[in-house]
Each structure stands twice: as structure tokens, then as C-alpha cells.
Amino acid sequence: MTIPTSIVFLVDVDNTLLDNDHIQSDLRNHLEREYGPESRDRYWVILEELMTKLGYRDYLGALQRYRMEHPTDIRLLTMSSYLIDYPFAARLYPGALDALERLRCWGETVILSDGDVVFQPRKVERSGIYAAVGGHVLIYIHKEEALDDVRLRYPAHHYVLIDDKLRILTAVKRAWGDQVTTVFPRQGQFALDPAVVAANPAADVTVERIEDLLSMDLPMLLGYARQPSARQRPGADSVHASRGRLRQKDEGPNVGS
């Protein structure tokens, strides 16, 4: 098959580039340590309620609602600092920034994420992801409902969507058909949930980790050629070691929200 003349890569953030499960675990531990298990559990109930309502986890919104229930608890000020100053760069999956660099060699690479208007952009910026894609970041409330806007901002002959949520991949595939290649990294709670996997059709391409993209060429990523098996990928680690280290080194021990 012929490689499209222009390709835009659309890449998710949480549990695709960032280990969001680890971030949530850190947050739960912090809440229990600083405020006790009851406060931790109540905050998490509010967070999940907002998740159901909004479609994304609104950490700062949940904190604001928790504060309304405890208006005199001044300790909440330190909780907001913990969220804003969380070291997101330390939670990047191995090879995440290198994978973005590799994609940019093939076409425009854009972050496509859901989230709130404060916490999610800061997370993307302070983790180093914003710089890695040259500032090409789109954050919506429901990205699968904003596809017309995505195409308007980044027109292309073909799109490659990389996301850990099969629900999102399925929705975009239904909307764009053969104009999109869906790539499913099996990372995080949603990607590894058997019920979720069973409820959705398979993606065009499946990888175990985001760093597996480093061992693939463009035809493989587009699903035009067979992916190498794990035993056939001895060069993946060496590619990772030799590429992209400079970016992480320049950023240093970055800490962020």
C-alpha cells in the first residue's frame, strides 16, 4: 500500500505517555498520609462522581467541592500545592518522549487529550510533553466529539491515533474510517481491563508499551506490515538508549503539577 503524503499523529496523554495509575496511587497515599483515610475516601468519591459527569478526572474541581464540605480546613491549601507541583516528568513511561520524537520525523505530531482547562495543560507542559511536540496540544472535554475541530486545525490525508482507551479508538474509527489508523498501547487500568477489551473491537495496531514504537517503521505503524515480535526486537532498547536522551537531560529533574 502507498504511504499517505501527509500524516498527522494524534497522541493521548494519560496512560499513553504518562503513567496515570501511578499518579493516582501517589495522590491516594498523600491524601491518607496528610488527611487520613476518611478524607481520602471522600475526596475520591467526589472525584469519581465528577468523572462520571464530565468524562475526565477533575482533580482541582474535586478539591473545590471537598472544600465546600470542609470550609474551615486550611490544610486543603497544601493539597492544592501537591497537585500543582507534582513531579509529572518522573511519571513518563520509558521511551515516551523518544516515541514522540520518532513520530515527528514522519509527520505533524499533536497531543489530543481530555481534561480540565488548568490542571491538564499544566501537566502536559511540566512533564516535558508540550516541548516534545513543539506546543501542538489539543485538550477537549470529550475529544471524540471534537473531531471536526481537530481536522480543521490539523488537516491531513491520514491520521494515526494512539490512545490507551479502546472506547476512544473505536469512536474515532467509526467516524473517520480508513482515514485513521488506530494504535492501542496496552498500558494502564483501562487497557488491561478484560471487560473493556471485550466490549470493543480491536485496534488496527496493538503494542504492549509506548516505547515499542521505537522498534517500528512507518509501514508497521500504519498496519501495512507485520509488527516484529518481542523476540525480534533486540534493537528497541539500543534505539531508546541512543535517541532522545538529550531532551531528557536538558530538562533535568523537572518537577511539575
DSSP 227: P
Share of the chain above pLDDT 70, in %: 87
Residue, of 243 and 87, whose pLDDT is higher: 87
Record the pTM. Answer: 0.83
Average pLDDT, integer, range 139-158? 96
Q: Looking at the predicted structure, is the pLDDT value of residue 118 above 90? A: no
Q: Looking at the predicted structure, is the pLDDT value of residue 62 above 50? A: yes
pLDDT of residue 56: 84
Domain count along the chain = 2
Band of pLDDT at residue 232, cut at 50, 70 and 90: very low
Domain boundary among 69, 88, 107: 88
Instruction: Transcribe 174-219 into DSSP letters.
Output: HHHGGGEEEEEE--HHHHT-HHHHHTSPPPSEEESSGGGGGG--HH
1-15, 160-174, 190-204, 242-256: least confidently modelled range: 242-256
Residue, of 85 and 99, whose pLDDT is higher: 99
Domain that holds residue 122: 7-19+92-250
Handedness of CA 148, 150, 151, 152 (dihedral sign): positive
38-60 b/e (C-beta count within 10 Å ≥ 16 → b): ebbebbbebbeebeeeebbbbbb
Q: Assess whether 101 and 184 both reside in one domain.
A: yes
Query: Which of 107, 126, 123 has its CA nearest to residue 115?
Result: 123
Domain boundary among 88, 122, 145: 88
What CA–CA distance (Å, rounded) separates 239 from 242? 5
Helix (H, G, I), strand (E, B) or coil at 163: coil
Q: Identify whether 256 is part of a domain.
A: no
**66, 46 in Cβ contact below 8 A?**
yes
pLDDT of residue 190: 86
Q: Looking at the predicted structure, is the pLDDT value of residue 254 above 70? A: no
Q: Looking at the predicted structure, is the pLDDT value of residue 249 above 50? A: no
Q: Looking at the predicted structure, is the pLDDT value of residue 181 above 60? A: yes
Tens digits of residue pLDDT in 93-111: 999 999 999 999 999 999 9
State the DSSP H helix or E strand holding residue 32, giving kind and residue range, or none if neither.
Answer: helix 20-35
Q: Looking at the predicted structure, is the pLDDT value of residue 239 above 80? A: no
What CA–CA distance (Å, rounded) separates 224 from 61? 43
Q: Assess whether 31 and 157 both reside in one domain.
A: no
Average pLDDT, integer, range 200-224? 93
What CA–CA distance (Å, rounded) separates 254 from 87? 7
Query: Which of 116, 178, 180, 128 has its CA nearest to residue 154?
Result: 180
DSSP 71: T
Q: Assess whether 119 and 207 both reside in one domain.
A: yes
Beta bridge partners of 205: 183
Q: Where are the beta strands (DSSP E) in 89-202?
A: 108-114, 137-140, 158-162, 180-185
**121, 137 in Cβ contact below 8 A?**
yes
Q: Which three cell numbers stand for residue 189?
A: 487500568
**15, 190 in Cβ contact below 8 A?**
yes
What CA–CA distance (Å, rounded) separates 183 from 164? 8
Q: Assess whether 74 and 194 both reside in one domain.
A: no
**Hey, what amino acid is at 73?**
D
Q: Assess whether 74 and 192 both reside in one domain.
A: no
Q: Assess whether 57 and 130 both reside in one domain.
A: no
Mean pLDDT of the chain: 86
pLDDT of residue 253: 34
Domain boundary among 41, 66, 88: 88
Residue, of 224 and 91, whose pLDDT is higher: 91
C-alpha torsion angle, residues 231, 235, 241, 246 (rounded to 10): -130
What CA–CA distance (Å, rounded) separates 124 from 62? 20
Q: Looking at the predicted structure, is the pLDDT value of residue 131 above 60? A: yes
